[in-house]
Amino acid sequence: MSRKWASRTIIVYLIFIAAIYWYLFYGADTEIPAALKGTSADPAVFLNGREQEISSEYSKIRNFLFFLSTPYEWVFYMLILLAGLPRLFERWAQSSSKKTVVQNGIFLFWISASTLLATMPLNYIGYRLSRFYHISTQTVPSWMKDELIGFWVNFGLMWIVLTVLYWLIRKYEKKWWLYAWLLSVPFTLFLMFIQPVIIDPLYNDFYPLKDKQLEKQILQLAAKADIPAEHVYEVNMSEKTNSMNAYVNGIGSNSRIVLWDTTLEKLSDDEILFIMAHEMGHYVEKHLYFGIAGYLSLSLAGLWLASRIMNYFIRRWGRTFKISSVSSLASFPLFLLITSVLLFISSPLANYVARYEEMRADTYAIKMTEDKEAGIHSFQELTKSGLSEVNPPFLVKLFRYTHPTMLERIQMLENWEEKN
């Protein structure tokens, strides 16, 4: 039975990958509509022929890697369950210590290390791809350092999650999902509070914006929007990437306005002010809090579904998956598999809401700055630096895009004066 499950899983995965490959490289239509040819949304206007060709190549390969890697993780979880590795790791953990917390840590380490080794080839291919197309400027040692930091940060957080989750499963057999969700609310808020000041600095150096004249202009915009900001932060990203970004993150007293140094190097002050007005639009319209509420709502539904699916799978195929009960640590990869699939299925809805909020932030930026040209040029430069597709395939937009396409964003700015 295990061999049949394994072979069918691999066959389905290969069929899926073949279908996605055909869709991305041959079936998808990414042409600019005829009505927009020659407008500022047309890549031919702001990219030369070679840049357009490179952008198309890079986008197709990057999108293919995304659709390759997400189900690859599911296949990995399926295969290790069928091979009985989680049960073996659980026995090792139980024989190594009598303390449950220590057992959880040992078990999680072996699961995390196995996952890291299994996914490392695809992660490295993604890194080399970005290096080849001059998106990434990061050295191999620096990339490996970030991978290791990410591993230990995730391990620490997942150790807490695993310990609490399986304590709840053993104590509340039927309602563990509800109590797990209730505890996830303060945990999520705590992580968002500490991320700007503890987690983010593990990866990059943050410091006050060096250009004090520009900082003054940004803070004037913030004051105009009633945003209580005292500083703007700059982050050293040029050592890792040529792409650009800016964001506002964190909650409460730890919230930060952050600009990548690449953005400062490649955009004019007017264009940066437009980008910052966009980020302030998120703050003014309270998108962060709507996002938290949406995430917590989806996680409640997700945990309930995960509990039902786990019970069904273990009741029907527990022997095949080498899982004796839901309360066994060996069921954790099954939990990860189910939640990963549920997140993927729900991503089109989450992305749709995110795109709506991004368009609202663009609208806020153009109202605040009244500088259409700065907005258009900043979007063109963002496209150029990140080799983004202006008009991506439908499935790519559905599952990957948390922002409107550059075609939609530039077109909105182009038509702003006519509509208003």
* Separation of alpha carbons 275 and 414, rounded Å: 17
**Which residues does 409 contact at the CB level (< 8 Å), separation at least 6?**
359, 362, 379, 403
Which pair of tokens denotes residue 268? 């004019």
Is 279 noted as a catalytic residue in this protein?
yes
Judged by phi (left if over 0) then psi (alpha if -120 to 50, else beta), residue 29 lies in beta
b/e per residue, 302-332, with b = 16+ CB within 10 A? Answer: bbebbbebbeebbeebbeebbbeebbbbbbb
- Longest C-alpha distance within the chain, in Å? 72
**Which residues does 399 contact at the CB level (< 8 Å), separation at least 6?**
66, 67, 344, 347, 348, 351
Residue among 357, 356, 340, 347 nearest 395 (CA): 347
Catalytic residue among 73, 215, 279, 389: 279
Contact call for residues 218 and 230 (beta carbons, < 8 A): no
**Which residues does 149 contact at the CB level (< 8 Å), separation at least 6?**
202, 203
Residue among 65, 83, 79 nearest 11 (CA): 79
Which pair of tokens denotes residue 85? 């590795």
Which pair of tokens denotes residue 4? 């049949």
Residue among 130, 7, 13 nearest 67 (CA): 13
Contact call for residues 104 and 159 (beta carbons, < 8 A): yes
Burial class of residue 407, CB neighbours in 10 A (0-12, 13-18, 19+): buried
Report strand pairing: 232-235 vs 206-208: antiparallel
Could you list the active site residues?
279
